[in-house]
Amino acid sequence: MTCTTGSSRFDPIRRFAWLAIVVVLGLAAAGCTTTQPVETGASLGIAAAGGQASPMRAQGWAERYRLNPADPETAVHYARALRASGLRAQAVAVLERAANEHPKHRGVLGAYGRALADIGRYRQALAVLDRAHAPGRPDWRILSAQGAALDQLGRHEEAQRYYGTALRIAPDEPSVLSNLGLSYALSKDLVRAEATLRQAAAQPRVDPRVRRNLALVVGLQGRSSEAESIARADLPSGAAAANVAYLRQMLAQQNSWKQSEQSGAIAVKAEGT
C-alpha cells in the first residue's frame, strides 16, 4: 500500500527500493575488473556514495572511446565515468551500443543492466542481467542486482529468493545482506530488516552506507536516539551531522505523512507494480 495525493507521494520505506539498488550496484563490486558484470559508482539519498568522477579521468575514457568505440572494455569504463558524473542516459546509450555489438560479453551485459536500473528501466534491466550470468556459474553480484530490481517492481518475496541464492555463493557478503534487509523493510517487516542490517553492519569491510540504512530502519521503529547514534558512528563530525540531519528530515516527513493520513487528507490506495 502507498499513500498518494495527486502526483506527490512520501513513504520513507519506499525509498529503500532505490537505496537497495544503490548499495548493491554501487559497493558490491568494489575492486572488480571490467570482466565482472557490475561496476562501482552510484549516489542518492542516505546511501549515497557521494563524489564525482575526476574530469580528467572522464575525459581520458571519452578520448579512448572516441578512438576505439568497438572495444567492450573501453565502453564499460567510459560508461562508468559517465554515470559517476551523473550522465546516466549517456551511459545507457554507450552500453546499449556495446551490448548490440557484443551480445555475449558478460562484463558489458552486467554494466548495461546496472545502467538500465539506474534510470528506472527495471524490467529491461532484469532481462539483460539474466544474460550476464556465466552458464552454470551464477554471479552473486548479478543475483543481488536482480533482487534489487525486483524490489523496485514490488516483487519482494522473489527478490529475497535471489538474495538468498547470492548469499549461498557469498556468505555474509555485506552488500547482499544490506539489500536483503532493505527488502524486508519494503515488506514492512522492520524487525527482520533491522536484524539483517545489523548482521551486514557487523561484517568486515562494510560500507558506511549500510550503517546509515540501519539507522533509518531503527528510526522508523520510533527509536530515534539510537538511530542517531548509529548514524554518527565512525564518522567525522561534519559527515555525522549531515547524516543525523538527513535522518531527522526523513523521520519528520514520515510523521507528517502519518498525521495527514490519519486526518483523512491523503487517500490511500493500492499501487500496481
- How does DSSP assign 109-137, residue by residue? HHHHHHHHHHTT-HHHHHHHHHHTSBTTB
Contact 154, 2 (CB under 8 A): no
76 close to 112: Cβ distance less than 8 angstroms: no
* Alpha-carbon Rg for the chain in angstroms: 19
Helix (H, G, I), strand (E, B) or coil at 266: coil
Q: What is the pLDDT of residues 127-162, one digit of tens each?
A: 999 999 988 889 999 999 999 999 999 999 999 999
Q: Cα–Cα distance between 236 and 223 in angstroms, integer?
A: 23
- Residue 4 forms beta bridges with which residues? 267
CA dist 33 and 42 (Å) reads 17
Residue 51 backbone class (left: φ over 0; alpha: ψ -120 to 50; beta: rest):
left
Q: What are the pLDDT digits (tens) for 184-203?
A: 998 889 999 999 999 999 99
From first to last of its 273 residues, what are the pLDDT tens digits of the chain?
A: 333 333 344 455 555 444 444 444 444 433 333 333 333 222 222 333 334 455 567 778 888 988 898 999 999 999 999 988 889 999 999 999 999 999 999 999 999 999 999 899 999 999 999 999 988 889 999 999 999 999 999 999 999 999 999 999 999 999 999 999 999 998 889 999 999 999 999 998 878 888 888 998 999 898 989 998 988 887 788 888 887 887 888 778 766 555 544 444 333 333 333
